[in-house]
Amino acid sequence: MRLHESVVVLTGASGGIGLELAEQLCHAGAQVLAVSRHMGKLASLMNRYPGSLRWQSADLRTQEGRAQVVSRARELGGFNVLINAAGVNRFALLEQLDEQALDELLDINLKAPLQLTRACLPLLREQSKALIVNVGSTYGSIGYPGYASYCASKFALRGFCEALRRELADTPVNVLYVAPRATRTSMNSSAATALNQALKVGMDDPVYVARAVLQVVQSERSELYLGWPEKMFVRLNGILPGLVDRALRKQLPLIRRHIGSPLKEPSK
């Protein structure tokens, strides 16, 4: 996919990885319809790329919001790349989350990209070549304590990508799943950042992640995993999950301490 020939619908465009994707896409010559609930830092970016960047306010959790995006995309004459980058995270034990917080996470991380992709497929099929990019996570392949709800959404998103790619194998539409590791964005709480620092977990800059994603967009690859040793742990978890179980169990006291869990450590 050549970026300068691309018309891109990009969700989650007002911050984090999405904002960097918007900037790098425009710099490469792409036309971008940036989708977010609030304009935020997109305002200054629109001033820099007035001919390339357009904004659509939409709540992707709703049918109305998704319909607004599709309608705006039609007004642009169609598009050939959909990037689902909108997402939220919750660093908490499952029982610490109330029903509303859990529903919101699943609505944004899973239901919104599935429903928006479904609504956009007729437009994408009209292209000679089109691409759907879903931004997942390393935690879409490794179940990690303190992220059970987030892992559930990203595991499901990864499965969706795999199945949809096979479903569309005889069409012009390809599906790319990208899995960043921890990234320095406002999506991470201070507690999550503190845990990463305590565990000496590497955190990538959104600029680097966006650059890596767009490099793969221009190729024919179907998956991208970022970070080392994270890529190794993904493979290890698939082959020897029991080994990963034992390693992560040793981290439980530290994880619970950073979460602020009232749960007592089990007696030995």
Name the residues annotated as catalytic.
Answer: 150
* Helix locations, the chain, DSSP H: 16-27, 42-48, 63-75, 99-106, 112-125, 148-167, 190-198, 206-217, 230-239, 241-249, 252-259
Tokens representing 1?
């996919």
Q: CA of 6: how far to CAs of 47, 156, 212, 216, in Å?
A: 20, 28, 17, 14
CA distance 234 to 155: 12
Structure tokens at 149: 């709800």
Helix, coil or strand: residue 200: coil
Q: Is 145 exposed, middle or buried (0-12, 13-18, 19+ CB in 10 A)?
A: middle
| Residues making up the chain, counted from first to last | 268
Q: What does the block give as tokens for 163?
A: 């199945």
137-141 LR contacts (CB < 8 Å, sep 24+): 137/179, 137/180, 137/181, 138/179, 138/180, 138/181, 138/182, 138/225, 138/226, 138/227, 138/230, 138/233, 138/234, 140/177, 140/179, 141/179, 141/225, 141/234, 141/237, 141/238
Amino acid at 37: R
